Chains A and B, each alone.
Chain A
Amino acid sequence: MKVVLPFIAVVVLALLALVGVTLAHQVEFFFGVIVPYTAVAVFIFGFIYRVLQWAKSPVPFCIPTTCGQQKTLPWIKHDKLENPVTTLQVVGRMLLEVLVFRSLFRNMKTEMTDGKIVYGSEKLLWLAGLAFHWTFFFIFARHFRFFFQDVPSILSMMEGVDSFFQVGAPLFYMTDAVILGAVTFLIFRRVYLPQIRYISLASDFFPLFLIFGIALSGILMRYMFKVHIVAVKQFAMGLVSLSPIIPQGIGAIFYVHLFLICTLLIYFPFSKLMHMGGVFLSPTRNMANDSRMVRHINPWNYPVHVHTYAEYEDEFREKMKKAGLPVEKE
């Protein structure tokens, strides 16, 4: 159920675009203009809304998870990146987390062998996660060539690197292969590994199938069902210059690709994909372990009912005196 339903959903979405634009050309305006604008708006405002919602809740306590030696005596080596105390060190820790998935790199596998528990190396998830996110970013950035009249040189450079292993024309991008491989692995482990399968929800499979669909339609469009590339650029330029046009003969596969991307954009702010914003706000990672050096303020700290020393002495005064303890009141 939780695997099949999301799969069907993505197939239906793709067919919707395909059948739609094939049957009636008028529908192109819907898929080519209304949906993209809506999707971008939902994504931007939804994303900001979610982050603001999080930010509205305060961080009452200084709760970094420390993963290295604290800063104490001058002759004990302080682990600045795993247990930061300054803002700069926190930035360093966050960069490691966001750019190379530091915490996930620690991953290992717990197994029972010969009546003993052993911890083996397990870097595949880290590798696949890293490959997936970085290629996604590369491909995303590459697409900006469609939105500039003159392609910025940084993009051309990226394309140069990406197509380093040239296998005929058009240029073959390594990232295309890597993202399909990585997403396939991420789907596969959710189905195959008993623990992961047990914890997975439909909402874990849906974005994976969706992104697979996006990548696949993009690749098909590029290498097999060639679309009219000049028309696509015309179309993209029209969208960003807020004067949308629908050029003739772009090809139905393009609308499938576009519609799946729009679905992703709309789905994004309402889903776990918001981890993209959330990771920056995670208090166990983005705080300095300086709570003994500087007082952390809790905005909702309120007075509480305590048992005072005076009450304590009142109860035990006789016993205290008998034991020779000093008392405040005789």
Chain B
Amino acid sequence: MAKLPTPEELMKLNYNPPQDENWMDKPVELKPGNICWGAKGKNLKIVEFPNARDWSPVEADWKLPQDWEGTVLEAMADRLSKYRSFKIFMDICVRCGACADKCHFFIGGGDPKNMPVLRAELMRSVYRKYFTNSGKYLGKLAGARELDLGVLKEWWYYFYQCTECRRCSVFCPYGIDTAEITMMAREFTNLLGLNTDWISGPVANCYMKGNHLGLEPHAIMNSVEGMVDDIETITGIRINPSFNRKGAEILFVTPSGDLFADPGTFTAMGYMMLFHELGLDYTWSTYASEGGNFGLFTSNEMAKRLNSKIYAEAKRLGVKYIIGGECGHMWRVLNQYMDTWNGPADFMEVPKSPITGTVFDNAASTKMIHVTEFTADLIKNGKLKLDPTRNDDLVVTYHDSCNTARGMGLLEEPRYIINNVCNKFHEMPENTIRERTFCCGSGTGLNASENMELRMRGGLPRANAVKHVTEKYGVNTLANICAIDRATLSASMDYWVPGTRVAGVHELVANAMIMTGEKERETNLRGEPLPGKGGNE
């Protein structure tokens, strides 16, 4: 594994590309520390993907299928006819450069091909050659080039360095969304068996076992059981969650990462404590035990195949509606894709909070609401007893996930909750939050360990903003609503802003929430002593 450079070394950045160089003439260099391992054949086989074999990107021979160029160009023609976004985004870019310095990978690395416009040009140049007359006849002068192995490797390198965060599309005068182009590039590379181990493994797991981590039914229950024990230790209350229970009112789906490792588990404990306190009639599912969707990082079809479990399970269990946990790309899927793929969800009812009576008309069709929408409504209606002083040792800032910000617009709900459960909250600079939020640096399945340099580079803009509020306000906690954030920001904070904790919003909720019949709490969910119990400090 490549040695991770120090923060000082990584900070030596130059945003000015070399002057008299044509980017087309510069062959790609697959830098160690910036690439993930290749997919394993067995995982590709499980989901019936083509060209399933073990492969390694660092070897010269990628074991490509016969006539792979034909496969790619045929797929390109097909997707151009299926996606207006793809076709328009191939045609209308004027290269104004407004997006150039908006990508976290460019800001953290300075590689000119990480400017969104140039990332897209990697694809456009091939499009022009085969699908436009100017490209066909004028070639390089018209910005066109042939598809060859070098180009394919360049695609693979840079389209697995885009986290589909959509920040560039906020600034583009035509709304050109690089995520749409990256999704196509990933479709094409998957037709050749060129996925990464870190994506294809979870996809195969999720397909067969219901979740990315490959937790089998009893393992999920064990994991939850462990959290139940911890909750009892902290609060003196034994809660009893149910699994695969028919007739429950609500199905709860959250990313499996929340069941597996700190600090995600604290968020999961938060959900369970909240639902217990409300007496909510809900169930977990071991079959639909994954809210996230790594299929989205391979192909549209694979994403749909994985997502199908949520509605199928809701139907089988006969629930009235679904609540979804804190996760970023999960909500891109739930908000913008699920109903179209696997709907209509006409066997359920429009979500209605059994506690407040609030009807969530904004989910009238999908029948699935975000847990922060649910909780914000509870707090607004005064249904929770909260003691925010229990979080007084935390000086909190909030990181918007790319997908909930730019693929949904869930901005105020989490902030409202945080402001009600914490006394010390400070926003990061406005150019780095809400619709302009930065990616954690490791989305779209880039959260492996062999590409740590890339992850830390991509995480720099977010960390830089955290550092700013750390110095200015003494912020020590980075709240978020994303399971991948909880894992990846922990790593990038350790690297860039050591001492900053990463916490899910519902961990903070559960810390502050006074439960009926609880014993005097000594510690927070992490087992750390509470600041001045009772709040007189």
B362 (CB) vs chain A CBs: closest residue: A72
| B233 contacts A by Cβ under 8 Å | no
| B286 contacts A by Cβ under 8 Å | yes
| B246 contacts A by Cβ under 8 Å | yes
Known A-B contacts A278-B88, A319-B216; the reply to A198 vs B98 at CB < 8 A is no
- Distance A67 CA – B305 CA, assembled complex (angstroms): 29
* B88 A282 Cβ-Cβ under 8 A: yes
A270-308: which residues lie under 8 A (CB-CB) from chain B?
Answer: 270-272, 274-275, 278-279, 281-285, 289, 291-298, 300-301, 304-308
8 Å CB contact of B15 from A60, A110, A278, A305: A110
B145-181: which residues lie under 8 A (CB-CB) from chain A?
Answer: 166, 169-177, 180
- Distance A117 CA – B103 CA, assembled complex (angstroms): 13
| B313 contacts A by Cβ under 8 Å | yes
Q: How far is the CB of A303 from chain B (nearest CB, A)?
A: 10
Count of residues in B whose CB is under 8 Å from the partner chain: 118
Stretch from A146-154, A171-179, A200-208 contacting the other chain: A200-208
8 Å CB contact of B88 from A54, A202, A306: A54
8 Å CB contact of A104 from B98, B208, B244, B287: B98
Count of residues in A whose CB is under 8 Å from the partner chain: 98
Known A-B contacts A103-B173, A278-B92; the reply to A320 vs B339 at CB < 8 A is no
| B13 contacts A by Cβ under 8 Å | yes
Q: What residues of A have a CB within 8 angstroms of the CB of B127 in the complex?
A: none
B427-447: which residues lie under 8 A (CB-CB) from chain A?
Answer: 429, 431-432, 434-436
Known A-B contacts A272-B93, A281-B84; the reply to A292 vs B335 at CB < 8 A is yes
Q: How far is the CB of B77 from chain A (nearest CB, A)?
A: 11
* A106 B245 Cβ-Cβ under 8 A: no
* B217 A325 Cβ-Cβ under 8 A: yes
A75 (CB) vs chain B CBs: closest residue: B380
| A115 contacts B by Cβ under 8 Å | yes
Known: A72-B373, A76-B412, A274-B92. 8 other contacts (CB 8 A): A63-B177, A104-B96, A112-B13, A194-B19, A199-B97, A283-B88, A284-B166, A323-B218
Q: A: which residues have CB within 8 A of B?
A: 2, 5, 50, 53-63, 65-73, 75-77, 79, 82-83, 97, 101, 103-104, 106-112, 115-117, 119, 125, 129, 193-204, 270-272, 274-275, 278-279, 281-285, 289, 291-298, 300-301, 304-309, 312-313, 315-316, 319-320, 322-326
Could you show 28 A-B contacts with beta carbons less than 8 Å apart? A50-B91, A59-B83, A60-B82, A62-B336, A65-B170, A73-B380, A76-B416, A103-B170, A115-B11, A116-B464, A125-B98, A195-B97, A198-B18, A199-B112, A199-B117, A202-B143, A203-B143, A275-B92, A278-B91, A283-B85, A291-B335, A291-B336, A292-B363, A294-B364, A304-B308, A306-B305, A312-B209, A313-B287
Q: B: which residues have CB within 8 A of A?
A: 11, 13, 15-19, 21, 23, 48, 80-88, 91-98, 100-102, 107, 112, 115, 117-118, 121, 132-134, 141-143, 166, 169-177, 180, 207-210, 216-218, 221, 243-246, 286-287, 301, 304-305, 308-309, 312-313, 316, 334-337, 339-341, 343-344, 358, 360-366, 368, 373, 376-377, 380, 405-413, 416, 429, 431-432, 434-436, 460-461, 464, 467-468
